[in-house]
A and B are shown apart, each in its own frame.
Chain A
């Protein structure tokens, strides 16, 4: 480790500092010395300025387009989260629950529409009874999903891991000790023909398949039922699988991924 006295100036160390070739302990010593030694500070600045231009010796290459869109989404998300609100607490809570609120509103509209369909179908002949039953079953399922959303205690974000999911996001809403939860998937394009999206929960040495789905809405809720409590797993992911596959193991095509 360097031991610098006021009478000893940075010489070799300035170049090594600028090139990140000093061990951390020496970096601290060099910075401490330069702070009180203007000539050495100047030498350090000059060396850093020169070294930084070495970046231009690398061959420039265009990054894939999704890097930029993913970055802009991150900025958009951050901007939303830091938008002024009444209080910091309400800002965080609002940001975290906005997707859920949107989905609940969606459900309400959906159920209102369904209810009118049910009323209409009740007035029809017995042949329509089967249709009404199906719609009511969907409503019950929606109501269950709404209940799970309303009761959820924690929200975990999933982020895109594939260019195929460019622009897509998801949030897992879950309750401690419960095996059921709801994923809200946003902007996930429909899978290619013959493929489905498959939800997995995992921890070390364990990967459990849950529901599969085909995204059709810009913001779509998907109920998740895991074999054990969701908070007993470490990760959640959505993969792209053959619709006819056995799905014992996830494919390599991870679309969205998050920590639980």
Chain B
């Protein structure tokens, strides 16, 4: 854990859809400058938890705190990045997408900041291109740039790289780690991929398919990381065992 101050914490979150108990009282926290991966099988409720952490969904019980202060309404300081590639707007250029929240927020140097952030994600040359002229990986880079340009203190990412080719995913993961190191956000990163969580996270929180947190692991590997290193392989094995403990009902 990088900092003792918790940038984001969710406490005893309970969520039901009708009779179905999705989250039975989940707690986790993310420190400033920390990447925490929430790892779990598909349909375990991790996306639901991510939306609740962003206050885009109301929990039936429990609280969300940002820097210790309870929050109930969404705000751009907890910026959410989605899996869907349509989260960026097709009618705006890459630069237009990145500067959209800045202009809403009345940031005076929005243009300069937008260009600078596009440069950070390696898309400076594509600033005037429209999303349909970009590859899937480039579109997710635009989504990353849009989030980082706002300098939020918390980033909540719901499998943002799941729809991108495996080879590009490595680049995007490295890019995310680099951006977080530079901008020191707290990141809650939802994924169902063990390798991805090992490459990204300072800490991995494992969620079983009944929505309960069943374990937590710090990742003791120096960056840049190799998920196939001996330590990484042992951790991957342990995570795999833990995910298999609760077979699908």
User: Do these two chains interact?
Assistant: no
Residues of B within 8 A of A (CB): none
